[in-house]
Amino acid sequence: MDNAGIQPLSEAEVKEKLKELPDGWEHIENKITKTFIFDNMMEGVHLLDKLIPYCNEIDHHPDIVINFKKFKFELTRWDAGQKVTARDFLVAKKIEELVK
């Protein structure tokens, strides 16, 4: 994939794009983040099994904090100065699609 979508978004752009996502996504410390709580750990692992190929395809990989049934996704772009980019929102939308 080319470098489209890896330019940092302004605070206003991030705030506006957050409105496109389901409730629960927040912009904290130059990341968009959301925690999902599953019935069991394997549900979260299955989500990751489906998400990882997409992340590889678009060359964008979230930080994921796993605490048993809680999976916290933190999306930022390291090569964009650890700022939020359009690709972060692509990954967030894919996560939401897979959770449904």
Give the start-to-end residue ranges of the domains of the chain. Answer: 26-99
pTM: 0.92
Tokens, residue 92: 């967030």
Asked if pLDDT for residue 93 goes beyond 90, the answer is yes
Confidence of residue 6 (pLDDT cuts 50, 70, 90): confident
Q: 31: helix, coil or strand?
A: strand
- Domain at 26-99, CATH from 1.10.540.10, 3.30.1360.20, 2.30.30.60, 3.10.20.340: 3.30.1360.20
Burial class (CB in 10 A: 0-12, 13-18, 19+), 4: exposed
Model confidence over 17-70: pLDDT tens digits? Answer: 999 999 999 999 999 999 999 999 999 999 999 999 999 999 999 999 999 999
